[in-house]
Structure 1
Amino acid sequence: MSVIERDSVTGYTTTGHDWNGIKELNSPIPRAVIIFIIVSHLAALIGWILLPSWPLGRTFTKGVLEVDQKTDLAADIAAANIARADWMTEITTLDFDAIRADPELMNRALETAAPIFGQNCEACHGKDGIGGPGFPRLSDSAWIWGGTADDIAETITVGINSAHPDSRFAQMPAFGRDEMLDRDQISMMTSYVQTLSGGVIADDPSEAAILFQDNCEACHGEDARGAEGTGAPNLTDAAWTYGGDAASIWQTLMNGRQGHMPTWQNRLSTADIRMLALYVEAMPGKSQ
Structure 2
Amino acid sequence: MDSLGALNAFVQAAETRSFTAAGRQLGVSSSAIGKAVARLEERLGVTLFHRSTRAITLTPEGGLFLERCRRIFCEIEAAELELSQTRAEPRGTLRVSLPLVGMLMMPSLSAFMRIWPAIELDLDFTDRLVDVIEEGFDAVIRTGEVSDSRLMTRTLGTFGYKLVGAPAYFSERGIPATPAELATHRCLRHRYPSTRKLEDWPLSDEASTIEVPTTAVSSAIEPLLDLAERGLGIACLPDFAVRDRIAEGTLVGVLDDAVRHTGAFRILWPSSRHLSPKLRVFVDFIAEHAFVGPS
TM-score of the pair, normalised by structure 2: 0.29
Between structure 1 and structure 2, the one with the greater Rg is: 1
Structure number with higher strand proportion: 2
TM-score of the pair, normalised by structure 1: 0.30
